[in-house]
Amino acid sequence: MGLRTPLFDTHVAAGARIVDFGGWDMPVNYGSQIEEHHGVRRDAGMFDVSHMCVVDLRGARVKDYLRRLLANDVAKLTQAGKALYSCMLRDHGGVIDDLIVYYMDDQWYRMVVNAGTRDKDLDWLRAHAGDFGVSVEPRFDLAMIAVQGPNARQKASALLAPALAARALELGPFFGTAGDGWFVARTGYTGEDGWEIMLPAQEAAGFWGRLRETGVMPCGLGARDTLRLEAGMNLYGSDMDETTSPLESGLGWTIAWDPQDRNFIGREALTAQKAHGVARKLVGLLLADRGVLRSHQKVIVPAVGEGEVTSGTFSPTLERSIGLARVPSQTTDRCEVEIRGRLLSATVVKPPFVRHGKITIPL
């Protein structure tokens, strides 16, 4: 038996197919994964993401601590509730994890890290906390539900406490707001509008049930993966890990190089990598032929070199196969992918593939 979220029994009762995900027993779908995917793109769906770990970081020097630990710069966050996406790096520039950090106040930041990396993240956060007098508190008492889709905020808002709902509906993208032990943020992993809602674990099943009654479709990790891939968002452990730097992972935009005297962990390695030229890059692939891209398939770029598919799936919105691949930096607009011994043709595109329900690449 794996780890279970406060919603595990709810998923089983709803007929979910349960799979192991990073040590957690999680719903992969409740029926048709493709219907769940379309439900989010067209209306509203919800995901149990309680396996992800919320960590509260507090202390007088917490800002300095995070400016040392994160490749993006929390000094950009000046308004309460504002969120920042960042990588946390080893000294050699490899990605320990990708995460979201919220600026709550000058002495309190809230971080959300991946489930499968939780223990090493907490070890790393704690290993550096002492130097800055920061307390590291994982919030195992919180559940998290992502409601996503064009109608998600409107449907979910009716179920929040009125004062919280009013503030939540005012949130701009990548902002969050707290109230009564809940935290609502306008963030997500689908490419659609919506909220990620943290709430006390004992209230999760009730809230999930009310969301369902109001017409929000329960969605499993299967749809979560096809949605995030269409949205061009990386998955830790597939598209980047400790053996790859953000520069090789399509995440150069998350590195805050300025101010130049901010000495974040991994900076030296990234600077050297940039000076020598980054050999590989992460790109989007659209399979021209029939078939399905899958991670670890070999990519061949004629006259340039080889690479590898890091994520691949069938895109329900495009009704074509799409993927992310790490390829030589000189790769231009075409490549071939080896699928069961045959070379199939793919075009190299710039993700995202889909945003806000619209296809964003040429087909």
Partner 1 sequence: MSNVPADLRYLKSHEWARLEADGTVTVGISDHAQQALGDLVFAEVPEAGRRVTAGEACAVVESVKAASDVYSPVSGEVVAANADLGGQPELINQDPYGAGWLMRIRPDDKAHFSTLLDAKAYEAALAAETH
266: left (phi over 0), alpha (psi -120 to 50) or beta: left
Can residue 28 be called a binding residue for partner 1 (CB under 8 A)? yes
Number of residues counted as binding partner 1 (CB under 8 A): 17
State which of residues 32, 135, 202, 345 lies at the interface with partner 1 (CB under 8 A): 32
Nearer Cβ to partner 1 (6/222): 222
Can residue 29 be called a binding residue for partner 1 (CB under 8 A)? yes
| Two tokens, residue 298 | 């070999």
CB of 60 to partner 1, least distance (A): 48
State which of residues 12, 14, 34, 178 lies at the interface with partner 1 (CB under 8 A): 34
What string marks each residue from 256 to 285 as x (binds partner 1 by CB under 8 A) or -?
------------------------------
Nearer Cβ to partner 1 (117/313): 313
Can residue 222 be called a binding residue for partner 1 (CB under 8 A)? yes
User: Among residue numbers 325 through 354, which ones bind partner 1 (CB under 8 A)?
Assistant: 340
Can residue 80 be called a binding residue for partner 1 (CB under 8 A)? no
The rounded distance, in Å, linking the Cα atoms of 263 and 134 is 18
User: Could you tell me which of 54, 70, 52 has the C-alpha nearest to residue 128?
Assistant: 70
CB of 305 to partner 1, least distance (A): 26
CB of 224 to partner 1, least distance (A): 12
CB neighbours of residue 105 within 10 Å: 10
Q: State the angle between helix axes of 118-132 and 62-69 in degrees (0 to 180), rounded to the nearest 10.
A: 130
The rounded distance, in Å, linking the Cα atoms of 263 and 359 is 39
Nearer Cβ to partner 1 (191/222): 222
Can residue 290 be called a binding residue for partner 1 (CB under 8 A)? yes
Cα of first residue to Cα of last residue in the chain, in angstroms, is 44
Distance from chain centroid for Cα 276: 29
Can residue 318 be called a binding residue for partner 1 (CB under 8 A)? no
User: Could you tell me which of 288, 290, 189 has the C-alpha nearest to residue 230?
Assistant: 189
> What DSSP string runs through 7-60?
THHHHHHTTPEEEEETTEEEEEESS-HHHHHHHHHHS-EEEE-TTSEEEEEEST
Can residue 294 be called a binding residue for partner 1 (CB under 8 A)? yes
Can residue 176 be called a binding residue for partner 1 (CB under 8 A)? no
What secondary structure letter does DSSP report for 278? -
How many residues are listed for the chain in this entry? 363
Can residue 314 be called a binding residue for partner 1 (CB under 8 A)? yes
Can residue 226 be called a binding residue for partner 1 (CB under 8 A)? yes
Catalog residues that contact partner 1 under the rule CB under 8 A: 17, 28-29, 32-34, 222, 226, 290-292, 294, 313-314, 316, 321, 340
